[in-house]
Amino acid sequence: MQHRPVGVDRPLLILLRSFAMASKKTATPRSTTRSTTRTGGATRDSRGQGDELHQPAGGKHPPLTTNQGLPLSDNQNSLHATPRGPGLLEDFILREKITHFDHERIPERIVHARGSGAHGYFELSKSLARYTTARILTEVGERTPLFCRFSTVAGGAGSIDTPRDVRGFAVKFYTQQGNWDLVGNNIPVFFIQDAMKFPDVVHSVKMEPDRGFPQAASAHDTFWDFISLTPEAMHMIMWAMSDRAIPRSLRMIEGFGVHSFRLLNAKGASTFVKFHWRPKLGLQSAVWDEACKLAGADPDFHRRDLFEAIENGDYPEWELAVQLFTQEQADAFPFDHLDATKLIPEELVPLTVIGRMVLDRWPDNFFAETEQVAFCPSHVVPGIDFSNDPLLQGRLFSYLDTQLSRLGSPNFHQLPINAPKCPFANLQRDGHMQMRVPRGRVNYEPSSLDPQSPRETPAGFRSASVPADDGAKGRVRPESFADHYSQARQFYRSQTPYEQAHIASALVFELSKVGTAHVREAIVGHLRHIDSALARRVADGLGLAALPAAPPAAVAAKDLPVSPPLQIIGKMKSTLQGRCVGLLIDDGSDAGTVRALRKAVEAAGARVKIVAPRIGGAKLSDGKPQTADGQLAGTPSVVFDAVAVVLADKAGKRLAKEGAAIDFVRDAYGHLKAIAVDQGGQWLLDAGGIERDEGVVDASDARSFVAAAKGRLWEREAKVRTLA
């Protein structure tokens, strides 16, 4: 593989800057932008000092420096032994930047602050003894305790559960060989290729520093400005604008380790591996209007849903699957698997299911466990090792540094939630918050004074012996990282027409919140590389008079095969298992219908919650009181997967004048959910202007209601909203 030295792509950079400069003419006088791009070849972004382009009003850009005043020639790439080799500890620029970033918030996490977690276990069903010595992956039937934490990325700890955002998916396995942390997301790719850019992407998506808003949202200028100048992010943008970013439940998301890791067997031979979590309940997303209303109805919706599922014994469960491949297979891929902005399609390397995770216990104390749990990708066990993915290489440093800042001590591993459940011993002593009492005079190794002091062992962790790539040390990216658009195109074109419309509409919504015209136009220009029809839909949605030009691309997008596993709608399971149905009643509601609906829904594996105008409930037609789980005004239909309305005629007439009751059915209809109504409930349909379709059924037909409630009525969407 060839590698271009730093600076070769200067002509392309000038073209890109000229393009950005031309687009910038529509910007307001206050807007200033540093034009930058990712060429993707073995070059850096060469924003040289004394650059005559993009100067701020009143003078030249000051040189970018370290905190010690050292001018920087490259702020885009970390230092690697070879272009595709490992990161180097000598990279003081990366360490200073990441260290400062890691310590910006105390004690809340900088990212992934809003989280929910639970205890459970992992059970192996297929041994990987051929590939690894990690016991957790070789001993079939053995149950390993674990703690799993889900999180949003952008918002603070006090933000909401349901914004459009990536979801963190982190699992701490307490194995017999030590703790293994598999720290990933519900999306298999990431925004950036190199850890050097992690502070920048997070800074851009966080609240704008001069105003302190928006919270937990990417729909603002700084984020999209960064994205417009970072073509490598376009694949992730397709995922983030898809329904994957607005999940209906944490129990219905996939999880990914994101990076390629290595498995090492007893002979020292290594095999690449990618890890996938697949929910037993299948994928399920919200629709955008529903996600927004959920934020107001219940900011803790996902946390409450996870809590209630565990409390009710409906334990969330995921399959763990792996993609295994050799170096020879990797060399034949039409992309570089070390590039975190790329995935390996399942058609190329199929998934192999090897076990399951079950979450069966809520934390005893939210702070002590969910908040103090400390995940580090560097926590592995013998038989698992790392690849040279430059984003992973940076994470191996960053997470440990973050925990030192958040938890205030190098002894954070002694907290009960972080402590291994197997014996552990070393010669590290003292330090802030030391909670053990080490004994003896020996605190060094080797030693001869204490026969009981810990020693290294042949069975311990070993790093893979991998030949080094040819090439010189430098701040470079390999040419194999240069294609920023092909997989973005593949993802978009693999979606169903409904999902494509949702992506286009999400882009229009987000960019409509961006006040800087040239940023909006630049994003549409990038979309032309992904799909011309998508670019046109977004341009029309933004009211652009003309389609902006596409920026230069280091590598032209290729037409890769469509991959149906990338869909959500095509993978949704037709089931009510693990879901919740709301049943609206009032005085006089038919007792037989209420009982029949409850029985049918619960038989299908879902829960029923009774909603009434008063929290005290109502008296049914048989004279018996029925308690309510929620009061109508405070329990809207957005918190349910389907709704039924069983009302006496008198109650129906009365509630037809109540806005909360009308919205109960109107929102359910607009969110494409099944609705069961009796004669009294028809009053609400009429008041809401709702026409019956196959998803609106008679409450006396419980079987048809359950069948309709197992999915969304996607064909209804065109009747209720205009999409891009």
Domain CATH code at residue 261: 2.40.180.10
pLDDT in tens, 646-675: 999 999 999 999 999 999 999 999 999 999
Residue 535 CA to residue 402 CA, distance in Å, equals 39
Q: State mean pLDDT over 288-313.
A: 97
pLDDT in tens, 501-511: 999 999 999 99
pLDDT tier for residue 62 given thresholds of 50, 70 and 90: confident
State the CB neighbour count (10 A cutoff) for residue 428. 12
The last residue of one of the domains, among 356, 384, 414, is 414
Between 107 and 81, where is the model more confident? 81
Residue 106's nearest CA partner among 408, 360, 384 is 408
Residue 256's nearest CA partner among 161, 321, 324 is 321
State the CB neighbour count (10 A cutoff) for residue 237. 24
What pLDDT is recorded for position 455? 85
Strands 642-645 and 675-677: parallel
Look at the chain and report how many structural domains it folds into: 2
Q: State mean pLDDT over 74-83.
A: 91
Rounded (10°) angle between helices 497-512 and 532-542: 40
Strands 630-631 and 607-612: parallel
Distant-in-sequence, close-in-space partners of 265: CB < 8 Å, separation ≥ 6: 129, 130, 131, 132, 133, 271, 383
604 lies in some domain = yes
What pLDDT is recorded for position 32? 34
59 class by beta-carbon count within 10 Å (0-12 exposed, 13-18 middle, 19+ buried): exposed
Q: State mean pLDDT over 622-639.
A: 97
Residue from 185, 388, 411, 418 carrying the catalytic annotation:
185
How far is Cα of residue 92 from the mean position of the Cα atoms in its chain? 30
What pLDDT is recorded for position 254? 98
Q: State mean pLDDT over 530-550.
A: 97
48 lies in some domain = no
| Strand ranges, E, within 492-594 | 580-584
Q: Specify whether 203 is catalytic.
A: no
User: Percent of the chain at pLDDT above 90?
Assistant: 79
Contact 6, 46 (CB under 8 A): yes
Residue from 3, 80, 112, 235 carrying the catalytic annotation:
112
What pLDDT is recorded for position 185? 98
**Worst-scoring range by mean pLDDT, 35-49, 104-118, 388-402?**
35-49
Flag whether pLDDT at 562 surpasses 80: yes
Residue 140 CA to residue 126 CA, distance in Å, equals 6
CATH number, position 595: 3.40.50.880
What pLDDT is recorded for position 615? 96
- Which residues is 150 bridged to in the sheet? 116, 169
Q: State mean pLDDT over 246-263.
A: 98
pLDDT in tens, 601-613: 999 999 999 999 9
What pLDDT is recorded for position 105? 67
DSSP 156-206: -TTS-S-SS--EEEEEEEEETTEEEEEEEESSSS-S-SSGGGHHHHHHHHS
**Worst-scoring range by mean pLDDT, 32-46, 182-196, 335-349, 630-644?**
32-46
What pLDDT is recorded for position 103? 77
What pLDDT is recorded for position 49? 31
pLDDT tier for residue 56 given thresholds of 50, 70 and 90: very low
pLDDT tier for residue 23 given thresholds of 50, 70 and 90: very low
Mean pLDDT of the chain: 91
- Any idea what the Cα angle at residue 561 is, between residues 556 and 566, rounded to 5°? 105
What pLDDT is recorded for position 59? 61
State the CB neighbour count (10 A cutoff) for residue 11. 9
139 lies in some domain = yes
356 lies in some domain = yes
State the CB neighbour count (10 A cutoff) for residue 272. 21
Q: Specify whether 112 is catalytic.
A: yes
Between 80 and 4, where is the model more confident? 80
12 lies in some domain = no
Distances (CA, A) of 78 to 96, 389, 476: 12, 11, 8
Q: State mean pLDDT over 365-377.
A: 95
The last residue of one of the domains, among 389, 414, 439, is 414
625 lies in some domain = yes
278 lies in some domain = yes
Flag whether pLDDT at 237 surpasses 60: yes
The last residue of one of the domains, among 414, 449, 476, is 414
**CB neighbour burial string for 430-446, b if at least 16 within 10 angstroms, e if fewer:** eeeeeeeeeeeebeeee
Distant-in-sequence, close-in-space partners of 656: CB < 8 Å, separation ≥ 6: 662, 683, 684, 686, 687
What pLDDT is recorded for position 80? 93
Between 422 and 709, where is the model more confident? 709
- Identify the sign of the CA torsion 72, 75, 78, 80: negative
What pLDDT is recorded for position 627? 96
Containing domain of residue 689, as a range?
A: 575-720
User: Percent of the chain at pLDDT above 70?
Assistant: 92
How far is Cα of residue 649 from the mean position of the Cα atoms in its chain? 47
What pLDDT is recorded for position 424? 84
Exposure on the CB side of residue 209, measured as CA atoms within 13 A: 5
Q: State mean pLDDT over 551-562.
A: 96
What pLDDT is recorded for position 106? 56
Q: State mean pLDDT over 480-507.
A: 98
Flag whether pLDDT at 552 surpasses 80: yes
Flag whether pLDDT at 277 surpasses 50: yes
Length of the chain counted residue by residue: 724
Flag whether pLDDT at 9 surpasses 70: no
Distances (CA, A) of 209 to 222, 257, 486, 556: 10, 31, 34, 36
Residue 282's nearest CA partner among 641, 648, 674 is 641
The DSSP symbol for 639 reads: G
Flag whether pLDDT at 7 surpasses 90: no
Flag whether pLDDT at 95 surpasses 50: yes
274 lies in some domain = yes
